[in-house]
Structure 1
Amino acid sequence: MAIQKFEDIIAWKKAQDLAVEVYALFSKSKDYGFRDQICRASVSISNNIAEGFDRSSHADFKRFLYIALASCSEVKSMLYLAERLDYVNSEKATVLKDKCTETSKIITGFIKALN
């Protein structure tokens, strides 16, 4: 059965969940530059999946999936930094980094399926 809408894509759902958690975790951060960057990157994951889904070709969709994958790596990298800066405790950082890894694996599988 083919996916009919982007809301059915598991990677999109996981990315949305990740963005909600990132926003909740950093919403009170006074490091506005850091907060803005990690929140924007987290939102970029699901937005690029959605935008790519409505493109006219598999090649376009894959390009946007690669952008989503890169945004996921950006969020993960920033979580390492957040941990080093003591913006987040190690346990929470690990949970979110694991969610980034899981989302990345799903996106990568989706890219392979489109090949």
Structure 2
Amino acid sequence: MPQFEELDVWRRACRLSVALYKQFADCREYAFKDQVTRSGLSVASNIAEGFERESRAELNRFLRISKGSCGELRTQLFIGVEVGLVPRSEGLKLVDEALQISKMLSGLIKHQQKITCSLFCLCSSFSSFILSLWFYWEIVQR
């Protein structure tokens, strides 16, 4: 399995988080600023945490959390644009980047599910093979 630092989605999520911190550096709505920057930070952080857990189930769980954070961030940015905390053009660029990252996460989640399913099928097939050998051995022994 690759390291999370090798993933384009993680790199883009990091760049998005940096862009959010820069965009909101002078924002005086501190609660809003804190929430937006935390949501952005959560996207990249959960990708990293999932990969470091060394379990496919945990990886899938954290990728879903990361995707959820993308949705949360897009919502906050839309609201920020509507109330005038973010210039419309800049806000829509950030929303679009969060949407692209969310799509990349969807692809990664689907890929991980296929791997998990393949491993399960392989294990099931191997178990069936061993069971068949055991039955064959029992019949031969009689």
So what's the TM-score if we normalise by structure 2?
0.77
Partner of 1:44: 42
Query: Which residue, 91, 94, 110 being the options, matches 2:92?
Result: 94
Q: Which has the higher helix share?
A: 2
Look up the equivalent residue of 1:46 and give its one-letter code: A
Residue 50 (structure 1) shift: 0.2
CA RMSD of aligned residues (A): 0.8
Partner of 2:120: none
1:55-110 CA-partner distances (Å, limit 9, x unpaired): 13111100000000011111100000100110111111111111011000101100
Q: Give deviations 1:13-65, integer Å, cap 9, x for gaps.
A: 11001101111001111000000000011000000000000113111100000
For 1:42, give the aligned amino acid. G
How many corresponding residue pairs?
Answer: 113
Q: What is the one-letter code of the residue matched to 1:38?
A: V
* Structure 2 CA distance for aligned equivalents of residues 96 and 29 of structure 1: 16
Structure 1, gaps ≥5 residues long: none
Unaligned runs of 5+ in 2: 114-142
Higher RCO (C-alpha 8 Å, min separation 6): 1
Q: Secondary structure at the match of 2:75?
A: helix
Give, as a single letter, the amino acid of the residue that structure 2 aligns with 1:34. F
Q: What TM-score does the superposition give when structure 1 sets the normalisation length? A: 0.95
Amino acid at match of 2:59: F
Larger Rg: 2
Letter of the structure 2 residue corresponding to residue 113 of structure 1: H
Residue of structure 1 aligned with 2:20, choices 19, 22, 27: 22
Q: Which residue of the partner structure matches residue 6 of structure 2? A: 8
Aligned structure 1 segments of 4 or more residues deviating by more than 3 angstroms: none
